[in-house]
Amino acid sequence: MSARHFLSFMDFTPDELVAVIRRGIELKGLRNRAVLHEPLKNRVLGMIFEKSSTRTRLSFEAGMIQLGGQAIFLSTRDTQLGRGEPIEDAAIVMSSMLDAVMIRTFAHSTLTRFAAHSNVPVINGLSDDLHPCQLLADMQTFLELRGAIQGKTVAWVGDGNNMCNSYVEAAIQFGFQLRVACPEGYEPDPRFLAKAGDRVTLTRDPREAVRGAHLVSTDVWTSMGQEEEAEQRLARFAPFQVTRELLDLAAPDVVFMHCLPAHRGEEISHDLLEDPRSAAWQQAENRLHAQKALLEFLVTPAYRAE
Ligand code: CP
Ligand code: NVA
């Protein structure tokens, strides 16, 4: 199968990632100037959701419409996937009708199995392992606000989850230093850490991670699929809340990011999203622009050849 996929940051070269992010900024400018740009006319994106979503669904759906195409929402509850149709069979059939497929799933292997049988690009809209589309938006936001992230220091405070794993991959691809502060037993996946070498360091002390950092990011303590652990996690993560006082230890021009949805009073203090150092709303909007650039890159080969 010759299609390019975006299941992880490692599927693109660093130059390709930067090109997509820069293009996201251009597309944002076009939209802000109300310039019509419809390179994906008659193209259709299928979106398979095993988990809930607000931003991912909206940004892909609105993005496809703005690019002149269409998006179809498919819940596993309403398709034969929910009744046991093999993912490989679904991939063959769906990719014969669609121009790209986005999947939000539990097991990352659902994505790799689908991609192995798909003739069209497959995009990871979040798995238990990774959330690369969110990292495109995060990297675009940092570039807009502070310029290149290469050589900067990023602190991840909280759960070593799918978002954190994607930060590990971003540290490799964008050349920044990542400090992860998490409780014992909640580290990022060792498979990703092994690739990162000394680009990533682990600590149990959020203050140590944040000191002098240029970007501080966190995420919920209980991800989708872990609901039964919620109570136990609340207790384990309590010392890892990101507050204004914690951010005061970071670089004076630190940017705070949260992929959202946020739980105020848990991973962040009640006032943090309203703090001037928070870029969470810009970051959320950039899902739209960065993913439009991704779709343009993956679905229109003519653009890629330029
Ligand atoms: N950040 C993010 O992926 O949000 P949704 O779960 O709302 O899609
Ligand atoms: N880590 C969170 C991210 C949600 C966008 C989850 O997987 O639920």
Shortest CA distance to 64 belongs to which of 72, 75, 74?
Answer: 72
Ligand 1: distance of its center to the CA of 226 in Å?
16
Atom nearest to 59 CA in ligand 1: 8
What is the band of 302 on the pLDDT scale with cuts at 50, 70, 90? low
Report the distance separating Cα 135 and Cα 129, nearest Å: 13
Q: What pLDDT, on the 0 to 100 scale, is given for residue 303? A: 52
Residue tagged active-site, from 182, 214, 219, 283: 219
- Residue 104 assigned ligand-binding role: yes
Q: What pLDDT, on the 0 to 100 scale, is given for residue 138? A: 99
- Residue 182 assigned ligand-binding role: no
Model confidence over 99-125: pLDDT tens digits?
999 999 999 999 999 999 999 999 999
Model confidence over 135-154: pLDDT tens digits?
999 999 999 999 999 999 99
The mean per-residue pLDDT over the stretch 232-248 comes to: 98
Range in 19-28, 231-240, 295-304 with the lowest mean pLDDT: 295-304
Model confidence over 48-59: pLDDT tens digits?
999 999 999 999
Output the residue whose Cα is nearest ligand 1's atom 3: 56
What pTM did the predictor assign?
0.97
Q: Is there a catalytic annotation at residue 275?
A: no
Residue tagged active-site, from 5, 23, 43, 104: 104
Identify which of 47, 49, 56 to mutate to test ligand 1's pocket (most ligand atoms within 8 A of the CB): 56
Ligand 1: distance of its center to the CA of 260 in Å?
6
Q: Is there a catalytic annotation at residue 259?
A: yes
Identify which of 224, 257, 267 to mutate to test ligand 2's pocket (most ligand atoms within 8 A of the CB): 224
Q: Ligand 1 within 6 A of 163 CB?
A: no
Residue tagged active-site, from 117, 138, 173, 259: 259
